[in-house]
């Protein structure tokens, strides 16, 4: 039974080579259309993240307004500044 199925399949493929080529090409294009856009988007996002890190987009600078009536109390800060020399 299995041999018969293989024989009929091979005979069908060899008897219609253009049809077989077009079907295989359609399957290849279909797979490429499904994978290519997602790969381009993912690669673009990774590159944007790397470039952002190069330009310092992953850093936050906190500046206090000199004309503010109420000054910020740094002692209530919950985070630690790893780049500060005092360790606060």
Reported as a single tens digit per residue, the pLDDT across 28-44 is: 999 999 999 999 999 99
DSSP assignment of 35-47, as one string?
A: HHHHHHHHHHHHH
The pLDDT of residue 82 is above 60: no
Reported as a single tens digit per residue, the pLDDT across 8-32 is: 989 988 999 999 999 999 999 999 9
C-alpha neighbours within 13 Å on the C-beta side of residue 11? 6
């Amino acid at each position: 039974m299995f041999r018969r199925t293989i024989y009929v399949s091979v005979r069908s493929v060899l008897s219609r080579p253009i049809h077989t080529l077009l079907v295989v090409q359609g399957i290849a294009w279909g797979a490429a259309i499904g994978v290519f856009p997602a790969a381009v988007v993912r690669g673009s996002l990774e590159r944007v993240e790397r470039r952002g890190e190069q330009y310092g987009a992953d850093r936050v600078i906190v500046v206090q307004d000199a004309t503010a009536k109420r000054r910020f109390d740094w002692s209530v800060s919950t985070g630690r500044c790893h780049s500060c020399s005092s360790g606060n």
